[in-house]
Structure 1
Amino acid sequence: MDDASVDFKQAAAADAWATPIEALNPAQATLFEQDAMWPIFERLRREAPVHWSPPNNVYDGFWSVSRYQDIMAVDTNHDAFSSADGIAIQTREAKIESDKRPRGSSFIGMDPPGHDVQRKAVSPAVAPHNLQILGPLIRERAGAILDGLPIGQEFDWVDLVSKELTAMTLATLFDYPQERRRELTFWSDMFTNAPGHGPAKSWEHKREEADACFAAFDVLWDERVDAEPRFDLVSMMAHNEATRNLGRRDFHSNVVLLIIGGNDTTRNTISGSVYALNKNPDQYDKLRANPGLIPSMVSETIRWQTPLAHMSRTATRDIELGGKTIRKGDTVVMWYVSGNRDDAQIENPNAYVIDRERPRNHLSFGFGIHRCVGNRLAELQLTIIWEEILKRFPEVRLTREPQRTHSVFVKGYETLPVMIPTRN
């Protein structure tokens, strides 16, 4: 870590503890990009676990929920906390842009009963039986990706491994042309990045690429709606009674959800596992000595990384939480990234421990009706890639600090420079 980064983190920590608690604001993308947001959440958990952030020049006001049990209380109470107004906080600028175009609703942005029937339409794609079919294909692809990596020279793990494996799997789920699989990765980054970050150059650029994505998926819908049913996500939506009559905007919203959901969690946890093991060499030694710890390591990484930092809800009525009264219409942000470091729930939560007693005791997949529909697929891909890594490489060595994502929603990596010194 260079001196500038150390200085930034020290200044951010000092500011987190010196700022009056009522003015504390955790929604700062620059802090997430520098991995410097932790002191804010530590203070919130300690002093104001249900905390109101007043409006500022970036966001409207919102409640921050930072403790594990309080997050669970919100996430499992869909009657009092609705997803219908969105599942991530938006900047004021993003809201203005969003309001310029009519929007549809994806099932994650719906409450029951609409949510339940639309989710059920696509869930067979990640059911246990289909995962058994996908497993050997994922393993074959993971092996080919790893066998093609350079030895003894620096390369970007995000680009050559994390993006590549998840793009292949996502293209299979959509039955999207494999030769165009990186379009899915690109569109995911366009949807989740603000202009000036990632590939997004401007709001106009984001709109153009969204239209290109929707046009491509409209072609797939039109091809499959009158064809024999197939076992891919588009065909499932086109033939299921609950979704075959979706308006195009609602179809597009579900496409966005499935692209982002199928990309970000797995991709950023694959990268996060390499980073975490390098920063905790004793745990890397433990894993090499006992590959049977891979499933536990995968769950610990999903907790430790927390690839989606938050989800938000809107209160449907006045309700008390943590001694505070949340008013009807208020935005409530569940900071999964904070709940996963809550020492009231998780022992020694800041440590990365791959043989932790209860490694799946984390919030990263959410809870209740909106629990990540593809969580088992994410775990499967992560397990397979690490089984194949350990067969081939005694070490994947971090060479420089990563470039992290500029976002308070996606907690990930833009680049992760590594070198593989030698093969087994």
Structure 2
Amino acid sequence: MNANTIDAELAKSLPLEDFDVSQTELFARNGLHPYFERLRREDPVHYCKDSIYGPYWSITKYRDIVDIDTNHKVFSSDVSVGAFVLDDTTLNAVDGAMYLPNFLGMDPPTHDVHRMAVSPIVAPQNLLRFEKLIRERTSEVLDSLPIGEEFNWVDLVSIELTTMMLATLLDFPLEDRRKLTRWSDIVTTRPGYGLVDSWEQREAELLECLAYFQRLYDERKALPPRPDLISMLAHAPTMQDLTATDFLGMLVLLIVGGNDTTRSSMSGGALACHLYPDEFTKVKNNPSLLARMVPEIVRWQTPIAHMRRTALEDVEFRGKQIRKGDKVVMWYLSGNRDDEVIDRPMDFIADRPRARQHLSFGFGIHRCLGNRLAELQLKVLWEEATKRYSRIEVVGEPTRVPSNLINGFIDMQVRLHV
């Protein structure tokens, strides 16, 4: 009996009060969906009384997630009352972690001020400016790949393309771009999951990140404003009082936001094309379907599995009594599989009607700032891939990130066919 079969059986037999869908092992083996399916059906607002993160509520249905995500006056993101992810220790100064404040961990009006400082980078005119560069780099990467031989798509395609784009947004030295991947991975983990061995090691590497960017910040501060994220921070009047931890918090948000969502979607898209080869062929024969295929990839993969809020007051929600201070977790990965809203949600359908009806970018004031840039990178990748290949074959089982936040991959061996 394989792991998926075991999870399917356990999800049926385990008492609901014993469900803990935060376990990273479930994500590492892609075993979550049976548990989420049962929660959506029987207990869509579910209380887990005990986990390594403490007790928490799971919100698993699409419309309930939208209601929570758009009600920041009752369900807060502010780090002063909790965190915007389930694992407080990755962002808050508790249990040895560094305090990393950023605008995802803020409520209005502070959130709006910080978000506005960097939002020009994804303005429509900048997206037009980036498309030619994205296409050139994507073509170079795809043309360098071996045909008919196994290779790691995550490393040679997903990481390579996203780190080059992120380096461009930051005007970061291209030769050091893989540092961005390392720092992004470290931010979203705790010791014991294969990346770092201790909180001290994690802090040391994040301080290395801070020192590197502080040099870039000081350089940009001394120059006239330029259209990169570091220069925008250096010259924004509202950002002049940033402390070192404020600056690092903003940096790690930009690094993770500019890296993990797109990287995981690029890898998830390759897996979707392997599992649903007819859908890949459909788009290859009709490139206009890319307008639907790209958001469908983002929905089907759901690169950010959850976001968390903290209740600011006692509130009744869908018949459950949520107490002030409770952790409330919006499982986007589950909401994107809610068959009351999305038809055949487990399937990848390249020409899905209303393909943009998904939760992967969030809702409300915290909706993903770089969603259009992410979609542009994905559009270009699959435009170029469908021109070159007849099939993308995934060889063996991919290795997934052991995380309940980043729904992504470490290794995905593929073979390309022309």
| TM-score for the superposition, normalised by structure 1 | 0.95
Distance between the aligned counterparts of 2:74 and 2:219, measured in 1? 40
DSSP-derived class of the 2:309 partner: strand
The residue that corresponds to 1:30 in the other structure is 25
CA distance in 2: counterparts of 1:95 and 1:362, whole angstroms: 26
SS of structure 2 residue aligned to 1:242: helix
1:189 and 1:198 in contact (8 A); partners too: no
* Distance (whole Å) between structure 1 residues aligned to residue 329 and residue 7 of structure 2: 21
Does the 8 Å CA contact 2:90/2:189 hold for their aligned counterparts? no
Separation (CA, whole Å) in 1 of partners of 2:235 and 2:172: 17
Which among 102, 107, 116 is matched to residue 111 of structure 1? 107
Q: Which moved more, 1:146-155 or 1:377-386?
A: 146-155
Shift of 1:395: 2.2
* Aligned equivalent of 2:8: 13
Which residue of 2 is the match for residue 281 of structure 1? 277
Does the 8 Å CA contact 1:59/1:90 hold for their aligned counterparts?
A: yes
Q: Which of residues 60, 64, 70 in structure 2 aligns to 1:70?
A: 64
The CA distance in 2 between the partners of 1:163 and 1:201, in whole Å, is 23
The answer to whether structure 1 residue 41 and structure 2 residue 48 are counterparts is no
User: In structure 1, the residue corresponding to 2:8 is in which secondary structure?
Assistant: helix
Q: Residue 89 of structure 1 corresponds to which residue in structure 2?
A: 86
Aligned to 1:353: 349
Query: For residue 65 of structure 2, what is the amino acid of its counterpart?
Result: I
* Distance (whole Å) between structure 2 residues aligned to residue 245 and residue 223 of structure 1: 17
Matches within 5 A, 1:357-376: 357-376=353-372
In structure 2, distance between residues paired with 1:42 and 1:220? 47
Alignment of 1:269 with 2:265, yes or no, is yes
Q: Match of 2:150?
A: 154
Letter in 1 for 2:45: V
Count of aligned pairs between the two proteins: 415
- Structure 2 gap ranges (5+): none
Give the Å deviation of 1:173: 0.4
- SS at structure 1 position matched to 2:391: coil
Deviations 1:126-173 (A, max 9, x none): 111100001100111001111111122110000000000000000000
In the alignment, the residues of structure 2 paired with residue 144 and residue 94 of structure 1 have an alpha-carbon distance, to the nearest angstrom, of 36
CA–CA separation in structure 1 for the residues paired with 2:99 and 2:253: 13
2:329 is matched by which residue type in structure 1?
V
RMSD: 1.5
Deviation at 1:286, TM superposition (A): 1.0
Query: Within the alignment, does 1:245 sit opposite 2:244 as a pair?
Result: no
Q: 1:385 — aligned with what? A: 381
| Secondary structure, counterpart of 1:420 in structure 2 | strand
Q: Which residue of 1 aligns with 2:53?
A: 59
Rounded Cα–Cα distance in structure 2 between residues aligned with 1:169 and 1:374: 12
2:121 alignment partner AA: A
Alpha-carbon distance in structure 1 between the residues aligned to 2:362 and 2:282: 29
Hey, what's the Cα distance between the residues in 1 that align with 2:210 and 2:101?
14
Q: What is the DSSP-based 3-state SS (H/G/I as helix, E as strand, rest coil) of the residue aligned with 2:359? A: coil
In the alignment, the residues of structure 2 paired with residue 356 and residue 231 of structure 1 have an alpha-carbon distance, to the nearest angstrom, of 36
2:63 is aligned with what amino acid?
A: Q
Instruction: Output the amino acid matched with 1:349.
Output: P
Correspondence 1:308 to 2:304:
yes
Paired position in structure 1 for 2:183 = 187
Bigger Cα displacement from structure 2, 259-268 vs 93-102? 93-102
Q: What amino acid is the match of 1:383?
A: K
AA of the residue aligned to 1:7: N
Measure how far apart 1:350 and its partner are. Answer: 1.1
Which residue identity is paired with 1:278?
Answer: H
Distance 2:100 2:11 in 1: 38
Q: What is the CA-CA distance between 1:96 and the residue it aligns to?
A: 8.9
Give the unaligned 5+ runs of structure 1.
1-5
